[in-house]
Amino acid sequence: MKIWKWILGVLALLGGAAAVASAKDKKKYKKDVKENQDKIKQVQAKVKQVQQQKAKTKDAINQQKKKVVKAKSQVKDTGNAKKVAQDFEKKYRRKPGRPKKQS
């Protein structure tokens, strides 16, 4: 009977050691989880800030596009005016060629 008590005592000692080790691991695990949650919160805050900046930038781009479209609609096309000026110069200006006689 004594041998069984010794065997049970050794098993209880091993179980107690395992319980202490698992409690230590549990504390470390909880600490790691808390640190990870803090990091996640920081990353989420940065993501939120970047998304706000992105929204502001998109808004600024859209406003600039509206201004460009408005400005383009107010500016006349000069292609036709340039053509008219060139035609006038060809028709009425002195054409290059033979110089006038000097007397």
Question: Mean pLDDT over residues 1-7, rounded?
Answer: 81
Count the Cβ atoms, other than its own, within 10 Å of residue 36.
10
What are the tens digits of pLDDT across the range 25-81?
778 888 888 899 999 999 999 999 999 999 999 999 999 999 999 998 888 777 788
Q: What is the pLDDT of residue 92?
A: 75
Query: Is pTM, for the whole model, over 0.85?
Result: no
Choice between 96 and 48, residue whose per-residue pLDDT is larger: 48
Q: How far apart are CA 55 and CA 75, in angstroms?
A: 31
